[in-house]
Amino acid sequence: MNFEYTPEQQAFRTEVRQFLAESLPVDMRERQASGKRLVAADITRWQKILHGKGWGSGSWPVAYGGTGWNAVERHIFDEECADAGTPLQLPFGLKMVAPVIMKFGNEAQKARFLPRILAGEDWWCQGYSEPGAGSDLASLKTRAVQGTDAEGEHYIVNGQKTWTTLGQHANWIFCLVRTGTEGRPQEGITFLLIDMKTPGITVRPIIMLDGEHEVNDVWFDNVRVPVDNRVGDENKGWTYAKFLLGHERSGISGVGRSKAGLKQLKSLACRQPGDNGRPLIEDARFRDRIARLEIELMALEITNLKVILNEDRHLPAGPEVSMLKILGSEVQQLLAELMMQALGPYALPSVPDMLMPDWQGERLSVNFEPRDAGHAGAYFNLRKTTIYGGSSEVQKNIIAQMILGL
């Protein structure tokens, strides 16, 4: 595999870089550069800007409004967005439920949901995990019973989903529900699309270690869902869930964002003094840890390119997807750990007010910038990466099965 960029690919990079320089709103750029919080409206606004350019999704086929970019072009775009500090495009709609609808949904579902996802008009969240059904997702108990009334065929859904990321902003949720109890636990699971405004849905916040409201509990109390909102066949949802998880795990690798974070780490190490008063980057042991991180990140990038190239060739997902999930999670955690080490004693104070857009206070020291205030929270938040989307232990089992036949 040749990893040298062609002149055409370099020209594409220049085009992307110029577009980002001209189109990323100044207020977003300044907040991102200073480490301030973005709000939900920023994410939606950015998606609409990309959609207006025709770049709403780099991974969707042209037939559904996507760019039709190849794997390398998608990689370049993600890398340039991370370097420019753009808001993240929400993966739950674009990279998770949309591919499921494209592959397993009917034509009416494609026409109804896909354009709204692309245009940033719907915000999706994921209803997979439950108390007692996280890594062992097949143990889910949220129940859907089919019935018929004057308004037509429907399901009545009862149960609870947890760790629902950004569910407080979502107007749609894709859910795995149990519609059958016979056979293996993986059988009898159905994939439903549920309007979050439906009566009977309650969203309750879960405040995380960093003090942020990122995840939620979602309760379903006799929630009526039209049968038309079922994707594919009843009791076949496990097949669709596995397909979706393949997309989620490859997306979790976060190569572009980690590369941008590595640049920030090097900058921090150059200005932050070590124990001897000299810049931390001159400490051989710390520099070696940065080098190790950079090597791991290079390996992750190569594997990521291999996976997305295979997607372009319509080859089935192999064990590399699980490798991406494991290594991508570990790289993000190591990066956060080194950020904390570089900050030294300034990693200890939690100053959440510094992350607010209107903060005007003093720095903690000449070497402490406002954006540094977010590193401690990020360190705690990123402890989750080796768990969500399939824990590292589960991924290692998948690798063992696929490569060793165990």
At 276, the pLDDT band (50, 70, 90 cuts) reads: confident
Residue scoring higher pLDDT (308 or 291)? 291
Phi-psi region of 99 (alpha: psi -120 to 50; beta: other; left: phi over 0): alpha
Which three-class secondary structure state does DSSP give residue 148?
strand
For residue 33, pLDDT over 80 is answered with no
Lowest-pLDDT choice from 39-48, 52-61, 66-75, 300-309: 300-309
User: What confidence tens digit (pLDDT) does each residue in 296-333 have?
Assistant: 999 999 888 887 777 777 777 678 888 888 999 999 99
Residue scoring higher pLDDT (142 or 28)? 142
Instruction: Determine the pLDDT at residue 43.
Output: 95
Residue scoring higher pLDDT (330 or 355)? 330
pTM above 0.85, yes or no: yes
What is the distance between the alpha carbons of residues 31 and 36, in angstroms, rounded to a whole number? 5
Residue scoring higher pLDDT (18 or 383)? 18
Question: Are 176 and 186 contacting, i.e. CB atoms less than 8 angstroms apart?
Answer: no
CA 3 to the chain's CA centroid: 25
Structural domain boundaries in the chain: 7-89, 124-235, 253-404
For residue 77, pLDDT over 90 is answered with yes
At the top level of CATH, which class does the domain 124-235 belong to?
mainly beta
Pairing mode of beta strands 143-149, 152-161? antiparallel
Q: What is the mean pLDDT of residues 189-194?
A: 98
Q: Does domain 253-404 have CATH number 1.20.140.10?
A: yes
Instruction: Determine the pLDDT at residue 2.
Output: 57
For residue 350, pLDDT over 70 is answered with no
Residue scoring higher pLDDT (7 or 381)? 7
Residue scoring higher pLDDT (213 or 192)? 192
Instruction: Determine the pLDDT at residue 364.
Output: 56
Lowest-pLDDT choice from 26-30, 81-85, 169-173: 26-30
Q: What is the mean pLDDT of the chain?
A: 88
Pairing mode of beta strands 143-149, 213-226? unpaired
